[in-house]
Chains A and B, each alone.
Chain A
Amino acid sequence: MNFQMILESFPTLLEGVRLTLELALLSVSTGLVLAIGLTVARQSRFVALQLLAKGYVFVFRGTPLLVQLFLLYYGLSQFDAVRASIFWVVLRDPFWCSTIALALNTAAYVSEIIRGGVLSVPSGHIEAAHAVGMSRLTIMRRVVIPVAARQALPAYGNELILMIKATSLASTVTLLEVTGIARQIISRTYAVFEVFIAAGVIYLLINMVAVVAVHVADAWLHPERRRPPNTMPVRNA
């Protein structure tokens, strides 16, 4: 073990952080939009839409992300029709392939997380909201979403961390994000332990920021846990 080597590999590895963050942020945000669409489809009155959403979640949750990425990147590119289509502009690029694969995958998990959150809203609350004359939209905004978000946030925070780590799979389709750069340094220096320790520390730091962000969101969603504004101790009460 060579501590000098760990320190020396940091600056080079940091060059990959930008790409890691781009992959994570883009795929997490598109994945969230997709997931909301899937949840809506799952709760829809049309059986076909329900089945479609169910099937999607089944397939993308049930197969490894690496397999999905390889099918998208190496698999689709074998068809002349795909290479001739307008999608090729996007699909020929390893960055977009990785982002799409990550987004499609996380959408399946997040839609289940959101569904769990929505189902956890007690029906009594919704009936009460109806009784006081709220519209469907108002009920959504003021009753369902706040409660569902609180329930779903811990699981969503978990998924966020998993996604940041999953970006490392992009190194298998030639992207030089943190793991890709780590592999490259290792192929030159053979310092496997040192370089992967440094890479691990970088992922830890990124995930630390993610954990803090989830904490802040959690505190914001739970106003009742905050101290009341008047915190002056009352003397001789």
Chain B
Amino acid sequence: MARSWIISLALMVPLLGLTPAAAQESLPDPVRIGIEGAYPPFNFVDTNGEVQGFDVDIMNAICAAEKIRCEFVIQDWDGIIPGLQVGKYDVIIGLGITEERKKAVDFTDKYWATGNRFVGRKDKEWDYTPEGLDGVVIGVQGGAWQEAYVKAELPQSVMRSYQTLEQAYLDMEAGRVDLVFSDTVLLFDFLNSDRGKDYEFKGPEYDDPKYFGTGVGMGIRKGENLLRDTISSGIRKVRESGEYKKINEKYFPFDIYGE
């Protein structure tokens, strides 16, 4: 008798554990936004220790449009998804939408989408095929989707994974890395800076959805549909109000929303 009672209790435990997340009706207050803070011009930490950038402006606009209170939490990219899962924050801003990641998190609609390119020294040229890049050292950000692409599609090249894109640029300037492979807008920022004057875009634009997903959105814990829909609706509102265009122009001379 006593034993069957314990078993039925044990069976109930996972049910109890699931209930709050599944039946979530209200938004967290404040909504905490996990942000890397090392991905300029999308997000970076200024000299006062505050996060700034396109992501921050867009998120603040979304939160204002949806009348929710938002708070930024800085987190290394390496641990950005685990941090969401253990509840350090409720939203990841700037997460590329891929099939692989959809197994771990839910996504809002995209809020920007651009292609991926190489950047290298102006006085050097390669043939941008797997054979042509044989032995060429390519710098990528570890954990970014370009890393997966180079590993699978350009196996003859020598890939170096850096914790931040900044370190990859440093090593390109030092001559340790021939090409840096990353998102067009990020590279654009580098090329436009004083340091970028000896460098240029190389090769074609890469946008194979198998690796590069379908744009960049916000990651949400699985099943938190209210939060996901609120932010997606916020993205639509800032698009329609023209707020998006204003913020876009502040950072980039071209539209980054994509099709």
Q: Chain A residues in contact with chain B, CB under 8 A? A: 74, 77-78, 83, 92, 94, 172, 174, 180, 183-184, 186-188, 190, 192
The 8 A CB mask of B234-247 against A (1 = contact, 0 = none) is 00000000000000
Stretch at the interface among B29-37, B114-122, B141-149: B141-149
Majority secondary structure, B binding face? helix
Whether, in the assembled complex, B78 has its beta carbon less than 8 Å from a beta carbon of chain A, the answer is yes
Q: Is the CB of A190 within 8 A of B147?
A: no
Q: B176 — which chain A residues lie within 8 A by C-beta?
A: 77, 92, 94
Q: Which of B81, B142, B161, B162 contacts A190 (CB 8 A)?
A: B81
Q: A188 — which chain B residues lie within 8 A by C-beta?
A: 100, 148
Q: A78 to B167, alpha carbons, bound, how many Å?
A: 12
B102 to chain A, nearest CB (A): 12
Q: Give B166's nearest chain A residue, CB to CB.
A: A74
Known A-B contacts A74-B167, A172-B163, A192-B82; A187 and B175 likewise in contact (beta carbons under 8 Å) = no
Q: Chain B residues in contact with chain A, CB under 8 A? A: 78-79, 81-82, 100-101, 104, 142-143, 147-148, 160-163, 167, 170-171, 173-176
Q: Is the CB of A92 within 8 A of B174?
A: yes
Q: Is the CB of B161 within 8 A of A78?
A: no
Q: Which of A77, A83, A92, A174 contacts B161 (CB 8 A)?
A: A174
Q: B162 — which chain A residues lie within 8 A by C-beta?
A: 174
A226 to chain B, nearest CB (A): 50
Add 18 more A-B contacts to A92-B176, A187-B78, A188-B100 (CB < 8 A): A74-B167, A77-B170, A77-B173, A77-B174, A78-B170, A78-B173, A78-B174, A83-B174, A83-B175, A94-B160, A174-B161, A184-B142, A184-B147, A184-B161, A187-B142, A190-B101, A190-B104, A192-B79
B259 to chain A, nearest CB (A): 28
Q: A78 to B143, alpha carbons, bound, how many Å?
A: 26
Q: A192 — which chain B residues lie within 8 A by C-beta?
A: 79, 82
Q: A92 — which chain B residues lie within 8 A by C-beta?
A: 174-176
Q: 10 closest pairs, A vs B, by CB? A: A187-B143, A77-B174, A174-B160, A192-B82, A190-B81, A190-B104, A74-B170, A92-B176, A187-B142, A174-B161
Q: A166 to B133, alpha carbons, bound, how many Å?
A: 34
A8 to chain B, nearest CB (A): 16
A196 to chain B, nearest CB (A): 10
A118 to chain B, nearest CB (A): 41
A77 to chain B, nearest CB (A): 4
A192 to chain B, nearest CB (A): 5
Q: A187 to B79, alpha carbons, bound, how many Å?
A: 9
Q: A153 to B143, alpha carbons, bound, how many Å?
A: 41
Q: A180 to B147, alpha carbons, bound, how many Å?
A: 14
Q: Is the CB of A186 within 8 A of B161?
A: no
**How many A-B residue contacts, CB cutoff 8 Å?**
47
Q: A172 to B166, alpha carbons, bound, how many Å?
A: 13
Majority secondary structure, A binding face? helix
A-B contact list, 28 entries, CB within 8 Å: A74-B167, A77-B173, A77-B174, A77-B176, A78-B170, A78-B173, A78-B174, A83-B174, A83-B175, A94-B160, A94-B176, A172-B163, A174-B160, A174-B161, A174-B171, A183-B161, A184-B147, A184-B161, A186-B78, A186-B143, A187-B147, A188-B148, A190-B81, A190-B82, A190-B101, A190-B104, A192-B79, A192-B82
Q: A74 — which chain B residues lie within 8 A by C-beta?
A: 167, 170-171, 174
Q: A183 — which chain B residues lie within 8 A by C-beta?
A: 78, 142-143, 161
Q: Is the CB of B171 within 8 A of A77?
A: yes
Q: B175 — which chain A residues lie within 8 A by C-beta?
A: 77, 83, 92
Q: B161 — which chain A residues lie within 8 A by C-beta?
A: 174, 180, 183-184
A71 to chain B, nearest CB (A): 12
Q: A180 to B142, alpha carbons, bound, how many Å?
A: 10
A223 to chain B, nearest CB (A): 50
Q: A83 — which chain B residues lie within 8 A by C-beta?
A: 174-175
Q: B101 — which chain A residues lie within 8 A by C-beta?
A: 190
Q: A74 to B162, alpha carbons, bound, how many Å?
A: 12
Q: Give B82's nearest chain A residue, CB to CB.
A: A192
A27 to chain B, nearest CB (A): 21
A168 to chain B, nearest CB (A): 13
Q: B171 — which chain A residues lie within 8 A by C-beta?
A: 74, 77, 174
Q: A77 to B176, alpha carbons, bound, how many Å?
A: 9
Q: A184 to B143, alpha carbons, bound, how many Å?
A: 7
Q: B81 — which chain A residues lie within 8 A by C-beta?
A: 190
B167 to chain A, nearest CB (A): 7
Q: B78 — which chain A residues lie within 8 A by C-beta?
A: 183, 186-187
